[in-house]
Structure formats: structure tokens, C-alpha cells
């Protein structure tokens, strides 16, 4: 043992480092403890656990400069109080809503192709990020994401507010041959998505599952049996390219953010 090791190491540390099995056991214990500390509170904190059972309200209270609470209806779409009662009538700014069938299919394509490995969907509350991407992300925007797509790497730009920023045709060209649109892009070509039909059966089943999720399920008043049954007709003739574009065009334009409101509480 070197003089450095004699000074800075311990017998316990040496024992762990010299025994592979013991090392794995200690790592497992550390991960388990860390997971419990981070995950368990999420089941009890009011701003992460839904209340009411209809998926439209939680315990979060966003306040304006005068300290007045902003109604959750302005953040999460509530058909019973909104002027637009159905998903098809919904307009940007009405509040966070569940995915439409084609968007849900596109989300599956996004995950399947590993887009989350190079793109994040979480704008942090820093000035440079606001200048580049727009208003910082809030928790409600991910309430119907199972699992969330926040990401951890930005080989490409953040996509949290990409919805409506570019035309459908721009996305089609960019997804097919990225360097024709952005010469410095390192994104792979996805031209073949244009030839892949949407998986209708899988998407319809996903809609049913979304209504029974333990956290933030889609209200059955929105995903009604009739709406789910009609999803197949909406997806007929659509490709994975159409679905992915629909998904991207729906990102980040649900909430109409107001100046002076603290959305971080």
C-alpha cells in the first residue's frame, strides 16, 4: 500500500474495493437508499400528487405579483369550464390537455427512435434558455407523459416549445434529410418513417391504458369510449412521419403564460 493510500483509505474501504461482490452489494444499497429518499416524497407532496380524481387539479398554487392564486383552469385544460369542450375543439392556450390519437402515436415513434437521447424537453429557468427556447417548463406540462421526456442531453436543441415554431413541411424535410435544412446537423435521416404506417392497434390500446394510470390518468370524460373507438378512423392512412410531426407540433403551446406569475412554486 502506498503512503497516499495509508493516509486516505480505510480498512472498510479497502475491503469493499478488493471484493467485487461486496462492491456490488454496497452500490445496490446506496442506489436503493437514494431512490427511496427521492421517490417516496413524490407520493405525498401536494404539488406532485393529483387530487380530485378527474386529472384537472392538483395541490400546486401559482401566484401573480399581488399574491393572487392563478386558477388551475388556466394551466390545465378543464372541458367543464373551457369554451372548448372537446379535444378537437381545443385551442393553444386553453391549458395542458391529453394527447390526440395521432400525437400519441407520434410520441411512441419519438421514444422508439431514441429522440430523447439527443433532445431534452425541459427548459430551465435561466435567462439564456428563455431567450433561446421560451418560457421555462412547468410540471403540469408533463402531467400526461408516462414516462416524462425531460431528457438529460442536448446534442440537438430542446424541444419543449417547438410546437408551431416551424411548418409541417419544414419538419418533414428536416426529419427526412436533416442536413438539407440545417447543414451542421448530426441527426440521422428518418426518411423511411414516411413509408411506415401508424400502429393503430397499439395506439388505441395506449389510449385505454392512459385512462387507468395511477397518477394523472386521462379523465374518461375526455377519452370517452366513443372517442377511443373513433381513434382508428383518425389514424387511417397516416404514417409514422405524420404522427411524429403531429407530436412535435403539439409540444409547448398548451399554456398561455402570463407576465408576473410565479409558475415555479
Q: What DSSP line would sit under 189-255, residue for residue?
A: P-GGGGGSBP-HHHHHHHHHHHTT-SSSPPPTTTS-HHHHHTHHHHHTT-BHHHHHHHHHHTSS-SB
d(CA 150, CA 160): 8
Average pLDDT over residues 85-101: 96
Task: Tell me the residue range of the domain where 100 lies.
Answer: 84-249
* Tally of domains within the chain: 2
Same domain for 215 and 136: yes
Q: What is the pLDDT of residues 9-28, one digit of tens each?
A: 677 888 888 889 999 999 99
Cβ atoms 94, 82 nearer than 8 A = yes
> Each residue of 118-150: pLDDT tens digit?
999 999 999 999 999 999 999 889 999 998 999
Instruction: Examine residue 79 and state whether it is found in any structural domain, yes or no.
Output: no
Enumerate residues 6+ apart whose C-beta is below 8 A from 135: 123, 161, 257, 263
Q: pLDDT value at position 7? A: 54
Residues 178 and 240 in one domain: yes
Q: What is the mean pLDDT of residues 57-64?
A: 65
Does the pLDDT value for residue 55 go beyond 90?
Answer: no
Residues 119 and 180 in one domain: yes
Residue 166: inside a domain: yes
Whether residue 176 is predicted with pLDDT greater than 70 in this model: the reply is: yes
What is residue 115's predicted lDDT score, i.e. its pLDDT?
97
Nearest CA among 120, 111, 91, 105 for reference residue 242: 105
Residue 166 has pLDDT above 90, yes or no: yes
Q: What is the pLDDT of residue 5?
A: 56
Of 8-12, 56-60, 81-85, 224-228, the least confident: 56-60
Contact 85, 79 (CB under 8 A): yes
Tell me, yes or no, whether 233 and 102 share the same domain: yes
Residue 137 lies in a domain: yes
Task: Count CB neighbours of 76 within 10 A.
Answer: 24
Centre a 10 Å sphere on the Cβ of residue 187 and count the other Cβ atoms it contains: 17
Comparison of pLDDT for 264 and 37, the residue scoring more: 37
In a domain, 78, yes or no: no
Let me know whether 92 and 34 are in one domain: no
pTM, to two decimals:
0.80
Residue 95 lies in a domain: yes
Residue 111 belongs to a domain? yes
Kindly state the average pLDDT of the residues 224-228.
97
Most confident of 43-47, 97-101, 260-264: 97-101
In a domain, 222, yes or no: yes
Cβ-in-10-Å burial (0-12, 13-18, 19+) of 80 comes to exposed
- Give the pLDDT of residue 51: 46
Check which CATH number belongs to the domain holding 117 and give it: 1.10.760.10
Among residues of the chain, what percentage have pLDDT more than 90?
72
**206: Cβ contacts below 8 Å, ≥ 6 apart:** 104, 108
My answer on whether 95 and 39 are in the same domain is no
Considering the domain architecture, whether residues 210 and 128 belong to the same structural domain is answered as: yes
Closest to 245 in 3D by CA, of 127, 129, 100, 54 = 100
Please tell me whether residues 26 and 152 are part of one structural domain. no
- Structural domain includes residue 62: no
Distance between CA atoms of 101 and 223, rounded to whole angstroms?
Answer: 10
Choose among 84, 72, 93: nearest CA to 140: 72
Do residues 182 and 157 touch, judged by C-beta distance below 8 A? no
Amino acid at each position: 500500500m502506498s503512503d497516499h493510500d495509508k493516509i486516505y483509505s480505510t480498512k472498510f474501504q479497502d475491503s469493499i474495493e478488493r471484493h467485487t461482490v461486496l462492491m456490488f452489494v454496497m452500490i445496490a444499497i446506496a442506489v436503493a437508499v437514494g431512490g427511496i429518499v427521492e421517490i417516496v416524497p413524490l407520493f405525498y407532496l401536494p404539488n406532485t400528487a393529483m387530487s380530485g380524481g378527474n386529472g384537472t387539479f392538483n395541490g400546486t398554487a401559482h401566484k401573480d405579483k399581488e399574491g393572487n392564486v392563478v386558477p388551475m383552469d388556466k394551466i390545465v385544460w378543464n372541458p367543464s369550464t373551457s369554451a372548448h369542450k372537446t379535444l378537437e375543439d381545443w385551442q393553444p392556450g386553453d391549458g395542458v390537455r391529453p394527447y390526440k390519437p395521432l400525437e400519441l402515436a407520434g410520441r411512441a415513434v419519438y421514444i422508439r427512435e431514441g429522440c430523447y437521447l439527443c433532445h431534452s424537453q425541459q427548459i430551465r429557468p435561466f435567462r439564456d434558455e428563455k431567450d433561446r427556447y421560451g418560457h421555462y417548463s412547468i410540471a403540469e406540462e408533463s402531467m400526461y407523459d408516462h414516462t416524462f421526456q425531460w431528457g438529460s442531453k442536448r446534442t440537438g436543441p430542446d424541444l419543449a416549445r417547438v410546437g408551431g415554431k416551424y411548418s409541417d413541411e419544414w419538419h418533414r424535410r428536416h426529419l427526412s434529410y436533416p442536413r438539407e435544412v440545417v447543414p451542421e446537423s448530426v441527426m440521422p435521416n428518418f426518411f423511411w418513417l414516411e413509408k411506415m404506417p401508424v400502429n393503430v392497434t397499439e395506439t388505441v390500446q395506449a389510449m385505454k391504458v392512459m385512462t387507468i394510470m395511477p397518477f394523472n390518468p386521462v379523465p374518461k370524460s375526455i377519452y370517452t369510449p366513443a372517442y377511443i373507438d373513433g381513434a382508428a378512423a383518425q389514424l387511417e392512412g397516416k404514417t409514422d412521419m405524420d404522427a411524429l410531426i403531429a407530436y412535435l407540433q403539439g409540444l409547448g403551446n398548451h399554456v398561455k403564460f402570463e407576465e408576473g406569475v410565479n409558475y415555479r412554486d
